[in-house]
Amino acid sequence: MLTHNLATRVGLTDVDKQLDERFDSVGNIEFDAYAGFLADALFSRLQVVDGGDTADPSVQWDALDGVDDVCWLVCAKIYCGAPERLLR
C-alpha cells in the first residue's frame, strides 16, 4: 500500500507491480532491500524523463511534495500523539 501511494503521488503506475515481481518469492522484505527498490524503481525515475533528459525541477519538486504528503500521513499519528510536541 505504501509503494502504491508513493508511486501514485509522483505519477507512476507500475511501481507496485514491479515490487510484486521482484519480491514475489520472498515472504518478508528487509528495509534495506525495500529502500534500494524504491531508489531504483521510483526515485531514480524522477530524475530523468523519456528520452534521457533531466526532468524539469518543478516536476521533481511537485513529486517530492507528494512523497512528503504520504510520509506525513504515515507518521502524523506518531508526532501528533507524542507526549511532548516534537514539532515546534
C-alpha cell at position 85: 510536541
Instruction: Output DSSP code: residue 15.
Output: H
- The pLDDT, as a whole number, for residue 85 is 57
Element (H, E) at 74: helix 57-80
Instruction: Output DSSP code: residue 6.
Output: H
Which among 42, 36, 49 is positioned nearest to 16, based on CA atoms? 42
Element (H, E) at 38: helix 31-38
Q: Is the pTM of this model over 0.85?
A: no
- Each of the 88 residues of the chain gets a pLDDT tens digit; together they read 888 888 888 888 889 889 988 888 877 889 999 999 999 988 887 775 555 566 677 777 788 888 888 888 888 877 776 566 555 5
